[in-house]
Structure 1
Amino acid sequence: MQASFGPTPQTIVDVQTLGYEGWIQDQFGKPLGQDLLARYQDHLAAGGVNKRLGHMVQFWEHALYGDDQLRWRSVLALSQIFVVSYQDPELVPLSQAGTVFLTYLRDEALGNYCDLVRKVTYSPVMGMYLTYHGNRKTDPVKGFVPDENYAREILQLFTIGTEELNLDGTSKGVETYDSSDISELAKVFTGLNSEGVLFARGARDPESNKPMIGFDYQHEPGTKTFLGTTLNNGTDTIADVNEALDHILAHPNVAPFVAKQMIQKFVTSNPSPAYVQRVAQAFNAGQYQFSDGSTAGTGRRCDMKATLAAVLLDQEARSPTFYQRDDYGKVRSTLLRQAQFLRLFTVPRQISTTGILPDIGALGFDNSKNNMPFMFGPSVFNFYRSTYVPAGTEIARRGMVAPEMQIFTADNILNITDWTQGKFVGNFTGGNSVLIKDNDYLAQLARTPDQLVDELDTLMTYGTLAPEVRQHMIDMLSEIESSRSPSQVSDNGLSQRLSIAASMFMTTPEYIVQR
């Protein structure tokens, strides 16, 4: 539940067979898979529409049907940190470049976080979104001053945050940077633009498929002083950018800053400082040692395999002692709820390798219902902040955070419930539903409601359903075609039982809160 887009009967067997460490090691060994840009270009060559959702379709194909689940869960987590949003009309023409950006996330999801920062910095998509593509040196006559967006966000959102941190993620009570640091760092990110086009704010495919290059005649001359260092590369754009990145990424905040966010996105919203410190140490060492003496990670700082192994194998992730605490766990986002539903109830399909890509709808998704479509956030903070505190709650009184509750609205709850029930319409009557037919084992289990509830308790609430809730569900499901014996329940009755069971499970506290 923590490390995938939702368990299936087979993946549960895999974990039971391999053990936690063995399963993670197996995930680390999965191949990267197909070239995402080449796949999208094949889609175009086959007559597919050049659309901004191309990266979204490829993401969900791999997330739903791929066996490298941990890699793609890491892609999702990183996309919530390195935010680019195709709500921005400037990005709409850059459909191929969006797939390149997805490739960066995919390649470094089990790679190296610091390498990802470097790739993202030179990405035309990020350059357009944070308005430093075509960023110019100071020109007093024309009124140009360097754009400060990326200088601010690379510090605030990608690397060090706003406060100096101890290794355990607790604040030292000192700001990490001030307005002068931002102004000086902004000068570093001048002179970057796509190759082969006029130096300008705009970008286009296919030039934007490649990293931005330096146009030294538009790079701010002179020294740049920020975060306690001074660069002295004159108008050498690339030298300035690379040296600045080296300095930022060497900051001691990076490890606890990244460690805490990875824990929040995979395991629990309010990890203890000791948990954060253990993950930060693995991040800094670039290595994690398994119980058999073998290791994950290359030994280079910022290694994502070492970091994720530390996140998922820590005692606070694995010990039942922590599961029972009322301050433990995280709210499951509507996106993850929709993804797990589709992994459980829809027809398994192969990831497409040639021809026109499927539509989002053909995969079963309805982005209006999950309220957080991939790479489509409303701001640089994505759909919710990692520091969000729901006002007037016990969570706030205890000084805790609940990030996903920022989008956990009444409409959201109703939308996902309606969507769940609607997915079963036509399931057994030849309609357009993507769900499997009545030879599916879940449909057969629906003939005996207690067996169906127990199976869904395993798959969706990992055996935590309260006895009284379990009995209530069984009683409700038994009312459907109650006069018929199990073998005589009609296809429509089975569909109704599955629909109601799925809806009830998806709205239970045991499911909504991942413990």
Structure 2
Amino acid sequence: MRTRCDRFRGVLFVLAVIGFSGLDTAALQAGEFPVSSARAIRLTKAKIRAAQFLSKATFGPTQESIDSLARRISEVGYKRATSQWIDQQFALPPTSHQDVALDIIHVDGNQPDTQGIGVSLYRYQAWWHIALTGEDQLRQRVAWALSQIFVIGDSGTGFNNDDRRSIGGGQTTIVDWLGMSNYYDMLSEGIDGTYRELLEDVTYHPCMGDWLSSRGNRKANLSAGRFPDENYAREIMQLFSIGLYQLHQDGRLKTDENGNLIPTYDNEQIKELGRLFTGFKYKHYSRNDFYVPRNFGEPMQIHVPEHDNNLNYSEDPNAPASKTVFGTVLPPLPTTLTQDDVKAEIGAGLDAIADHPNVAPFICRLLIQRLVKSNPSRAYLRRVTRIFNDNGSGVRGDLRSVVKAILTDPELYRGQRPVRRRNPLRVDVITRGTEYSRLREPILRLTSLIRAMRPTTNYAAGYMMLSRNVGDEIGQMAFRSPSVFNFYLPDFQPPGDLIGYTPTRRNPYDSLFAPEFQILNGVTANKTLNRLRSWTYNRYVQYGMRKGSCRITFHLEPELELARDLDNLDEILRRFDLWLCNGSMSEATKTGIKNAILSEPQASSTQRVEVMLNAVLLSPDCAVEQ
């Protein structure tokens, strides 16, 4: 038999799921923050802006981080304060996923190659801990974005093995399963350099070599009917650099005189790059053969005899003894090749790719989608691509400058506007929606909740971790992309027409995209709602680890005390709104939650807080980020 409390919670659950659709929609455009003075108005506006910024630059704002940034915004202004915050974040040393995974193992009393315990799961534990607690939040958030561009997944050959091996010269490899953590750290550290440098690091990383089969790629042998593998050749163009069609610098698609889209490459270009990316093998310190033992911890090296040397194998016997990349003829190779010669040729090919005019709008759009919004305007893209093409000091593809341009651009905060109101004195938040918004990534819904709840952990050495299996519920988990195309496509559109809305002229595609909706279905929606419901009603998260379990406890004692008095419900909702919705929750949503609670005056303060938190989390105001 259902209890009174069960019915109470059930009412809030249904209200949250249906989005309070029975309420007055005229009020859905504004949330209210009452203030007592003009000075408080300035600080409240700063807090709303700080929360909105931090939701895009970190794995979720905390009350402390909101207050700190808001104070600085009040002192020096929004752009200067956020710019300083970005500089401070990039000055922090990168947190190493590989090192953290190894430390958790040692805390547990295990070894990286301990057999039979699922030791590879430690890399997911390390990822969760760093996302939830890392000081270098911006770097880690950008690395998460980059990992969804330069994609690899844990289904790659050997990625979960618990073996290590000798590679000569007294050297031993890292354990195979740590290779993906090593790859992720490469992305994190690559933020300090240029896009071109990162593209080379990605090209030479053995995990990418195995994922897209460039490792072990051999030159052609016509008599044997063998031609170079073209997998990496395709994906480096389609996914990692230029995309399928030519773009203007503001993201618009170019067309020919007949109005047709213009492809960026053809099959001949794929073949040329297939020839270029030959001869890669694992690094070994003593053996010179092609098939040396697996080594996921060091960049691949070149086996010169298997690199395409431009001689005696072309389908066209009259073809020039060189390779061409986007119209750039790479320097001829000498008759007697060395590793340095081959690396120079590959480097020249990567230069030609990185210099393609499509790279700036293509990569900048992907980064904006992962950090800020699904549909950046033409002007936003143009401003960011200008920085990509030249950071002001003549450097192309400076990733720190690009990230700063994305996160300090006015379009980041134009999705919502805090406005001063009188009678009574307050700040109203006006949201703009649609082109200014996006569905939150499932992972970010989880991390932002936990980080905001003043969490503590019972695990040794303060480790705060979730299970890899969370990904099976929400459709997304680090290291677990189902294919090189990521969890969702950047141009995904949910089925059906968008009723009553036409994209504005500021939109470069005359169409709207919603990537995250590709993994939102009946199964993931239901599992996510149930998971969040469990966490909020228990006020903790708990999962089994390789040794014991990790419980992350939410500390809402101040809110529990406030909830003793029904007059404080508005204050509690405003706090949850700021932490989890960046101040964008409508008064209609808040009223629906509050009325449901007032209908059960005998509920305890604990029940009130748990239900309010759950309803806020499940509301469309929270699921859709402005």
Report the TM-score range of the alignment, normalised by the length of the smaller protein: 0.7 to 0.9
Tell me, yes or no, if the aligned pair for 1:426 and 1:433 is still in contact at 8 Å.
no
- Partner residue, 2:131: 63
Correspondent of 1:420 among 532, 535, 544? 532
**2:105 is the counterpart of 1:10:** no
- Partner residue, 1:407: 519
Give me the whole-angstrom Cα distance separating, in 2, the residues matched to 1:477 and 1:335. 29
Q: Deviations over 1:398-455 (max 9, x none)?
A: 5211111111112222211111121246559x99883536663333344343322121
Relative to structure 1, the CA distance from residue 349 to residue 483 in structure 2 (aligned partners, 3 Å threshold; closer, same or farther) is: closer
Residue identity opposite 1:312 in structure 2 = L
Relative to structure 1, the CA distance from residue 202 to residue 371 in structure 2 (aligned partners, 3 Å threshold; closer, same or farther) is: farther
Give me the whole-angstrom Cα distance separating, in 1, the residues matched to 2:193 and 2:325. 28
Q: Deviations over 1:273-295 (max 9, x none)?
A: 111010000111124xxxxxxxx
Shift of residue 25, structure 1, vs aligned partner: 2.3
Residue identity opposite 1:441 in structure 2 = P
**2:86 is the counterpart of 1:27:** yes
- Partner residue, 2:301: 213
- Partner residue, 1:158: 240
Tell me, yes or no, if the aligned pair for 1:14 and 1:23 is still in contact at 8 Å.
no
- Partner residue, 2:110: 47
Relative to structure 1, the CA distance from residue 38 to residue 331 in structure 2 (aligned partners, 3 Å threshold; closer, same or farther) is: closer
Shift of residue 203, structure 1, vs aligned partner: 5.6
Shift of residue 332, structure 1, vs aligned partner: 0.6
Shift of residue 22, structure 1, vs aligned partner: 2.1
Correspondent of 1:168 among 241, 250, 263? 250
Give me the whole-angstrom Cα distance separating, in 2, the residues matched to 1:238 and 1:194. 15
- Partner residue, 2:276: 188
Give me the whole-angstrom Cα distance separating, in 1, the residues matched to 2:435 and 2:160. 41
Give me the whole-angstrom Cα distance separating, in 1, the residues matched to 2:491 and 2:527. 25
- Partner residue, 2:621: 510
Give me the whole-angstrom Cα distance separating, in 1, the residues matched to 2:67 and 2:469. 27
- Partner residue, 2:395: 300
Tell me, yes or no, if the aligned pair for 1:443 and 1:498 is still in contact at 8 Å.
yes
Tell me, yes or no, if the aligned pair for 2:450 and 2:554 is still in contact at 8 Å.
no
Tell me, yes or no, if the aligned pair for 1:63 and 1:69 is still in contact at 8 Å.
yes
- Report the secondary structure of 2:254's partner residue: strand
Tell me, yes or no, if the aligned pair for 1:65 and 1:349 is still in contact at 8 Å.
no
Per mean C-alpha deviation after superposition, the further-off stretch among 117-126 and 136-145 is 136-145
Residue identity opposite 1:28 in structure 2 = D
- Partner residue, 2:205: 123
Q: Deviations over 1:122-171 (max 9, x none)?
A: 00000000011111111234332111011111111111111111111111
Correspondent of 1:92 among 154, 160, 171? 160
Tell me, yes or no, if the aligned pair for 2:183 and 2:207 is still in contact at 8 Å.
yes
Q: Deviations over 1:370-395 (max 9, x none)?
A: 21110211111110011111121308
Give ranges in structure 2 of 5+ residues lacking alignment: 1-54, 114-118, 162-175, 256-261, 311-321, 418-429, 504-510, 544-548
- Partner residue, 1:388: 492
Relative to structure 1, the CA distance from residue 73 to residue 24 in structure 2 (aligned partners, 3 Å threshold; closer, same or farther) is: farther
State percent identity of aligned pairs.
29
Tell me, yes or no, if the aligned pair for 1:390 and 1:405 is still in contact at 8 Å.
yes
- Partner residue, 2:7: none
Shift of residue 49, structure 1, vs aligned partner: 5.1
Shift of residue 5, structure 1, vs aligned partner: 1.4
Query: What RMSD in Å do the two structures reach over aligned CA positions?
Result: 3.0
When the two structures are superposed, what TM-score results if normalisation uses the length of structure 1?
0.87
Tell me, yes or no, if the aligned pair for 1:128 and 1:202 is still in contact at 8 Å.
no
Tell me, yes or no, if the aligned pair for 2:457 and 2:552 is still in contact at 8 Å.
no
Residue identity opposite 2:333 in structure 1 = N
Residue identity opposite 1:233 in structure 2 = L
- Report the secondary structure of 2:65's partner residue: helix
Shift of residue 178, structure 1, vs aligned partner: 0.3
Larger radius of gyration: 2
- Partner residue, 1:293: none
Give me the whole-angstrom Cα distance separating, in 2, the residues matched to 1:328 and 1:106. 28
Give ranges in structure 1 of 5+ residues lacking alignment: 288-297
Residue identity opposite 1:168 in structure 2 = D
- Partner residue, 1:276: 381
Give me the whole-angstrom Cα distance separating, in 1, the residues matched to 2:148 and 2:383. 23
Relative to structure 1, the CA distance from residue 59 to residue 435 in structure 2 (aligned partners, 3 Å threshold; closer, same or farther) is: closer
Correspondent of 1:451 among 571, 591, 599? 571
Per mean C-alpha deviation after superposition, the further-off stretch among 365-374 and 100-109 is 365-374
Shift of residue 469, structure 1, vs aligned partner: 1.7
Give me the whole-angstrom Cα distance separating, in 1, the residues matched to 2:471 and 2:292. 28
Tell me, yes or no, if the aligned pair for 1:425 and 1:433 is still in contact at 8 Å.
no
Tell me, yes or no, if the aligned pair for 1:134 and 1:193 is still in contact at 8 Å.
yes
Correspondent of 1:249 among 348, 354, 368? 354
Relative to structure 1, the CA distance from residue 444 to residue 411 in structure 2 (aligned partners, 3 Å threshold; closer, same or farther) is: farther
Relative to structure 1, the CA distance from residue 452 to residue 439 in structure 2 (aligned partners, 3 Å threshold; closer, same or farther) is: closer
Give me the whole-angstrom Cα distance separating, in 1, the residues matched to 2:293 and 2:374. 38
Relative to structure 1, the CA distance from residue 146 to residue 201 in structure 2 (aligned partners, 3 Å threshold; closer, same or farther) is: farther
Give me the whole-angstrom Cα distance separating, in 2, the residues matched to 1:416 and 1:394. 25
Shift of residue 254, structure 1, vs aligned partner: 1.0
**Using CA pairs below 8 Å that are at least 6 residues apart, which structure has the higher relative contact order?**
2
Relative to structure 1, the CA distance from residue 433 to residue 212 in structure 2 (aligned partners, 3 Å threshold; closer, same or farther) is: closer
- Partner residue, 1:228: 327
- Partner residue, 1:328: 436
Shift of residue 470, structure 1, vs aligned partner: 0.8
Give me the whole-angstrom Cα distance separating, in 2, the residues matched to 1:101 and 1:353. 25
- Report the secondary structure of 2:329's partner residue: strand
Residue identity opposite 1:378 in structure 2 = P
Per mean C-alpha deviation after superposition, the further-off stretch among 52-61 and 224-233 is 52-61
Give me the whole-angstrom Cα distance separating, in 2, the residues matched to 1:40 and 1:341. 23
Give me the whole-angstrom Cα distance separating, in 1, the residues matched to 2:143 and 2:556. 34
Correspondent of 1:360 among 454, 466, 473? 466
